[in-house]
Structure 1
Amino acid sequence: MDAIEVDERDSTWENHHPHFRVYLQERSGDSYSTETVDLFDADVLQAIDWAQRAVASRTDAVWALALVGGDSRALRGLTWLVGMDANDPPSDEHEIDLTARMLGRAVSTIELPSADRWRP
């Protein structure tokens, strides 16, 4: 990870209502079956909590979280925030690390303060 100080005024827009996509994936042979769910009206910590709860009762399941966005042509795209699609083979050291950490979260959850937990 690199950390570089920047001028906070260099952005031109903000979005206070992010659109997240959660990949819920269970091992199925050599690949993963995938269920995708879009989340609205939540922040990233609530989305993480939702994802962890969604896979808690599943066997051999992992989750990944992406921010859904569009480009100037109105094409939808994903910015991975936590993990990545488990069916995509890692293409570099960064993705190998992402995958390993994602698989590790299958047995150990991220602890969040109660105020940041998802509320149905």
Structure 2
Amino acid sequence: MDVMPVDPRDQTWEVAEPRYRVYFWDGSSSTEFELTASDVHEAHRWAEENRGDRTFTLYASVPVDGLGLVRLSGLDPSAGAGAPVS
């Protein structure tokens, strides 16, 4: 991990009420949910409580130029190598 100071004035937008997407993986197939949670910890807790024997990927849902996803936790097994699975 690299750490460096930042200038907070370079920020140009913010999402005040974030939405999250959770993909539960069973092999290479997934079941997806969208959550409106108060924060990422609540979304992650919900995913942990509902995963069963599945792995999951947690994304922030970002509505810029359409809808984009920012991976916060886990790995998309259909995307190849990446971060460890939750």
Q: TM-score, normalised by structure 2?
A: 0.86
Which protein is bigger by CA-based radius of gyration? 1
CA distance in 1, matches of 2:56, 2:49: 10
The alignment status of 1:33 with 2:29, answered yes or no, reads yes
**In the alignment, which residue of structure 2 is the partner of 1:109?**
none
Aligned pair count?
A: 86
Letter in 1 for 2:49: R
Question: Residue type matched to 1:81 in 2?
Answer: L
d(CA) in 2 for partners of 1:48, 1:40:
12
More helix per residue = 1
Higher relative strand content: 2
Identity of aligned residues (%): 30
Aligned to 1:16: 16
Pairwise mapping of residues 51-66 of structure 1 onto structure 2 (< 5 A)? 51-55=47-51, 58-59=52-53, 61-66=54-59
2:67 maps to 76
Distance 1:43 1:21 in 2: 13
- The one of 44, 47, 52 equivalent to 2:43 is 47
- SS in structure 1 of the partner of residue 31 of structure 2: strand
TM (norm. structure 1) is 0.64
Alignment equivalent of 1:67, drawn from 60, 74, 86: 60
User: Mind listing any 5+ residue stretches in structure 2 that lack a counterpart?
Assistant: none
Amino acid at match of 1:47: A
